[in-house]
Amino acid sequence: MSDGGKIEQRPLFGPFTETVPQGQAPLFPSRGEAAREVVEAPKPCRENEWLGISRLDELRPHILSCRACGLRDGAKGVVFGEGDPHARIMFVGEGPGRTEDETGRPFVGRAGQLLDYALKSIEFARPDVFIANIVKCRPPQNRLPLPPEVQACLPNLKAQMRILRPKIVVLLGALASQTLIHPSIRVTRDRGKWFTKEGVQYLVTFHPAAVLRDEAVKKRQLLDDMRSLREKWEEIGRDR
């Protein structure tokens, strides 16, 4: 079946489907048990404790008091995330940088300004979406969060997603894409691709900080991905 230049979604391991652009090879032709193990990590119990929480403002104090990993010790505070508490589009980055740590707000430094610009290019603004990160506390010297830190923080993001129930999640960069889709994602190769999991559409794109390092090539691609987001939103996102 053809769908606007795409071929039929292919079943993946686990609950994912992959939309394969016409003429391109599928990213996940078939996967064995090893891949299944990576994806199906045991459910941390914090997520279950919070099942009764149905509003982001009720969840906030739980996340702000999180001490599940050592990152909180080196950070000024916890960056919960911000935006429309009923947003149907969620953006997920990596983790707070210095400016975010100082202000308690996600994506407010140079990368955040580029994200604002990208949103504006498709006539969205911050208050139309919800912006969060894989880890909520700034890693020292802005290093990449370590796998145990990601695992420790993931219940926080999962709880936010359970409450928000976004229809579309935009994955900014490798950490978000590899954590929420699959470790084999490579952003340079896979940006612009859509994945579906449990009724939610995931778009892989560049982290704005990566675009700042290579604007000549990546800015145009980021804006192309934003256009794809807008189209998807027109197609499925408007209805609550």
Query: What residue ranges bind ligand URA (CB under 6 A)?
Result: 93-97, 100, 106-107, 109, 111-112, 133, 209
Question: Is the distance from CB of 47 to CB of 156 less than 8 angstroms?
Answer: no
Three-state secondary structure call for residue 229: helix
* Beta carbon of residue 213, minimum distance to ligand URA (angstroms, whole number): 13
Instruction: Output 100 or 225, the one with its CB closest to ligand URA.
Output: 100
| Closest approach of ligand URA to the CB of residue 70, in Å | 19
* Residue 9 vs 103, nearer CB to ligand URA: 103
Q: Specify the residue, 31 or 219, whose C-beta has the smaller distance to ligand URA.
A: 219
Distance of CA 84 to the CA centre of its chain: 16
User: Smaller CB distance to ligand URA: residue 18 or 101?
Assistant: 101
CB of 190 to ligand URA, least distance (A): 18
CB of 22 to ligand URA, least distance (A): 32
Q: What b/e sequence results for 7-28 when a residue is b if at least 16 CB atoms lie within 10 Å of its CB, and e otherwise?
A: eebeebbeebbbbbeeeeeebb
Q: Which is nearer to ligand URA, 112 or 166 (CB)?
A: 112
Q: What H or E segment, with its residue span, contains residue 38?
A: helix 33-39
Smallest separation, CB 94 to ligand URA (Å): 3
- Please tell me the chain's helix, strand, coil percentages from 3-state DSSP, rounded to the nearest 5: 45, 15, 40
**Long-range contacts: 152-158, Cβ < 8 Å, 24+?**
152/68, 152/69, 153/66, 153/68, 153/69, 153/71, 154/44, 154/179, 155/44, 155/46, 155/47, 155/50, 155/68, 156/46, 156/63, 156/66, 156/68, 157/92, 157/132, 157/133, 158/47
- For residue 23, the minimal CB distance to ligand URA (Å) is 32
**Closest among 135, 128, 125 to 84, alpha carbons compared:** 128
Which is closer to ligand URA, CB of 15 or CB of 147?
A: 147
CB nearest ligand URA: which residue? 93
